[in-house]
Chains A and B, each alone.
Chain A
Amino acid sequence: MIQHIDDHIPSFDDATHEREWLAQERAMQRERLQLDPAGDDARSRRYRLLARTLREPLPDALPADFARQVAARVAAAPTRQVTPGGRFESALLLALGGALVLAAGIVTVIYGRTWLQPFGELLPAFPASTLGWLLALGGCLAASWLLGHWQPAPRTTATPS
């Protein structure tokens, strides 16, 4: 949807300025419509000459194949959304995450038995069947959580609204 906000153009406080503005606008319209200048006053004719000059093409121009050149330059480096910096950051994050998981594994292997002992003493003595159900419930919760994280993320690029 095209915005139509704040399209109001305020008038000048000074009535003389507003009259002059209207004369400028009228002359521009008359020149745009190429109306006969015979009935115009001297002020209007000057503004019409100004309009005619301002509507002339600019003396310099872009090369004829400018669009092709820019498109070729963009095609040679198709990096609209994934920047080289972003790719480097992702790789670094992955490497750090891997190192952290590895370190946690090593520490668990070395000290795990010592940590588990006090927790085991705190747990009430469940019958074997209850313990099995609790483990199954924990497994289900863990599986749901993991699946939630593995689902593809929604598109973040702009979609037409």
Chain B
Amino acid sequence: MDDIRSSHDRELVDAVLADRPGAFERLVREHQGLCWHIILRMVRNPEDARELCQDTFLRVHQCLHQYRHESALKSWIGRVAYTIALRHLEHRRIPIVDNGGDGEASPLENVGDGFDLEAACADEETHRHLHEAIAQLPPLQRTLLTLYYLEEATIPEIARITGLANGTIKSHLFRSRLRLRGALEPRTGVAA
């Protein structure tokens, strides 16, 4: 699987470096979804995210000759997108992680009974409440969850994109999911 992807990446990169017609457009189309997910989850503002996505691909075009095929092209481009979004947040002095802790009781031992999955999915209010809880997560945790669930990236792949250690990513995913599960507990309970 990796070999197939590697040869596809190689072919695409060679075509772009040789300025073959349509090659760069193909590269953008193949990777724009990943960049959009990373950047939008980091910065939240769609207008800023669109602009940063464009900056990402301009940077990719400028630096593609430096790509050494040491990781998948997807990870390399994702890393460029992540770095650009990170600089944008740093420039605006927006913290990407929650340094002060969650400030919530751990729901580890507080599991309410009788949760009906299908009813909860159909319940508009629960759905909205969960989306709000996701939006309230720090930028890094939102992005990690999106890469893990929506992009179906593995932890090592996420590590290549973000430059974080596998253990750090695991810890962020664990705490985010625990916090979001807490948001689903009955609102009258301790962990709500």
8 Å CB interface, B102-159 against A:
108, 111-118, 120-121, 126-127, 130-131, 134, 145-146, 148-150, 152, 155-156, 159
CA distance A73 to B167 in the complex (A): 40
In the assembled complex, the CB of B26 is this many whole angstroms from the nearest CB of chain A, namely 8
Q: Is the CB of A66 within 8 A of B70?
A: no
| A16 in contact with B108 given A24-B174, A49-B117, A158-B67 (CB within 8 Å) | yes
Query: Which of A32, A54, A71, A73 contacts B145, CB < 8 Å?
Result: A54
Q: Is the CB of A42 within 8 A of B114?
A: yes
* Chain B positions 149 through 192: 1 when the CB is less than 8 Å from some CB of chain A, otherwise 0: 11010011001100000110011011001101100110000000
8 Å CB interface, A6-27 against B:
6-10, 12, 16-17, 20-21, 24
Q: Is the CB of A9 within 8 A of B181?
A: no
Q: Does B10 contact A (CB under 8 A)?
A: yes
Q: Is the CB of A10 within 8 A of B115?
A: no
CA distance A73 to B152 in the complex (A): 31
Q: Does A74 contact B (CB under 8 A)?
A: yes
Q: Is the CB of A62 within 8 A of B65?
A: no
| A80 in contact with B174 given A62-B36, A62-B53 (CB within 8 Å) | no
Q: How big is the B interface, by class?
A: 35 or more
Q: Is the CB of A70 within 8 A of B28?
A: yes
Taking each of A70, A74, A78, which has the highest tally of chain B beta carbons within 10 Å of its own beta carbon? A70
In the assembled complex, the CB of B24 is this many whole angstroms from the nearest CB of chain A, namely 5
| A62 in contact with B50 given A20-B108, A46-B184, A71-B28 (CB within 8 Å) | yes
Q: Is the CB of B117 within 8 A of A48?
A: yes
CA distance A42 to B65 in the complex (A): 51
Q: Does A58 contact B (CB under 8 A)?
A: yes
CA distance A32 to B171 in the complex (A): 21
Q: Is the CB of B134 within 8 A of A60?
A: no
Residues in A with CB closer than 8 Å to B114 are 42
Q: Does B29 contact A (CB under 8 A)?
A: yes
Residues in B with CB closer than 8 Å to A157 are 17, 65
List the A residue with the shortest CB-CB distance to B11: A160
Q: Does A113 contact B (CB under 8 A)?
A: no
| A21 in contact with B53 given A6-B156, A53-B127 (CB within 8 Å) | no
Query: Which of B29, B40, B41, B184 contacts A67, CB < 8 Å?
Result: B29
List the A residue with the shortest CB-CB distance to B123: A49
> B: which residues have CB within 8 A of A?
2, 5-6, 10, 13-14, 17, 19, 22, 24-26, 28-29, 32, 36-37, 40-41, 46, 49-50, 53-54, 57-58, 61-62, 64-72, 108, 111-118, 120-121, 126-127, 130-131, 134, 145-146, 148-150, 152, 155-156, 159-160, 166-167, 170-171, 173-174, 177-178, 180-181, 184-185
- A-B residue pairs in contact (CB < 8 Å), sample of 30: A2-B6, A3-B160, A6-B166, A12-B171, A16-B108, A17-B174, A20-B108, A20-B178, A21-B174, A28-B149, A42-B113, A42-B114, A43-B181, A46-B111, A46-B184, A47-B181, A49-B117, A49-B126, A49-B130, A50-B177, A50-B181, A54-B134, A58-B37, A58-B146, A66-B54, A70-B54, A70-B58, A158-B64, A160-B10, A160-B13
